[in-house]
């Protein structure tokens, strides 16, 4: 009797669960179903937004490097040459050199993330680069912890000219001068 009683007890419990489950489905009408549907749509929109942001934020840095890779000659000073080359995944190494004196060159790397990196070949110097748009970057130059120059680096539409606006500042951030330099892509 105890075994049959246990089986019937289990059977009754299962029937009650099934009935309760069906009642939940019936009572999950209207507002509850709308909330579940609303949550699903919200989650879908959030996922789509995350993917779009990831794609949009990844593209400019890659484009900044690829369109600039190569050797660039200063249009008025042949002893000032910039070389842009790939660095890690999506970054760039910039080397400024003087053909007359190779030891006078200096360089830095960037991932276009606005983080300061040490400048090799200049004591106490750091540089940070951030993207303005697909053709322009903003470069912050620090010496001994103080920003002394901001450079707006703009690539021409045909990708063969770089225009640099050098904005020099004193230790208080007051602008003390602005100069312009054009670099032309060296023909291969």
What pLDDT, on a 0 to 100 scale, did the predictor assign at position 82? 97
What pLDDT, on a 0 to 100 scale, did the predictor assign at position 66? 80
The terminus-to-terminus CA distance of the chain in angstroms comes to 97
pTM listed for this prediction: 0.66
**What's the average model confidence in pLDDT over 74-93?**
96
Q: What is the CA radius of gyration of the chain?
A: 31
**Token duo for residue 105:** 């060159």
For residue 72, pLDDT beyond 80: yes
For residue 60, pLDDT beyond 50: no
For residue 73, pLDDT beyond 70: yes
Q: Long-range contacts of range 81-90, CB-CB < 8 Å, 24 or more positions apart? A: 82/162, 82/183, 87/111, 90/58, 90/61, 90/62, 90/65
**What's the average model confidence in pLDDT over 36-48?**
60
Q: Is residue 106 classed as helix, strand or coil in its secondary structure?
A: strand
What pLDDT, on a 0 to 100 scale, did the predictor assign at position 21? 54
């Amino acid at each position: 009797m105890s075994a049959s009683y246990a089986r019937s007890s289990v059977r009754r419990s299962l029937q009650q669960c099934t009935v309760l489950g069906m009642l939940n489905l019936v009572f999950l009408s209207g507002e509850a179903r709308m909330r579940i549907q609303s949550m699903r749509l919200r989650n879908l929109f959030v996922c789509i937004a995350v993917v779009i942001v990831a794609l949009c934020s990844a593209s400019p840095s890659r484009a900044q490097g690829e369109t600039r890779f190569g050797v660039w000659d200063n249009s008025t000073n042949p002893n000032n040459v910039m070389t842009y080359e790939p660095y890690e995944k999506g970054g760039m190494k910039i080397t400024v050199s003087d053909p007359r004196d190779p030891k006078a060159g200096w360089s830095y790397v960037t991932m276009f993330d606005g983080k300061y990196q040490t400048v090799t070949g200049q004591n106490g110097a750091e540089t940070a680069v951030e993207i303005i748009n697909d053709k322009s970057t903003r470069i912050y130059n620090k010496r001994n912890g103080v920003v002394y120059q901001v450079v707006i680096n703009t690539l021409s539409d045909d990708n063969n000219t770089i225009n640099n606006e050098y904005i020099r500042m004193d230790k208080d951030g007051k602008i003390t001068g602005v100069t312009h330099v054009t670099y032309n892509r060296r023909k291969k």
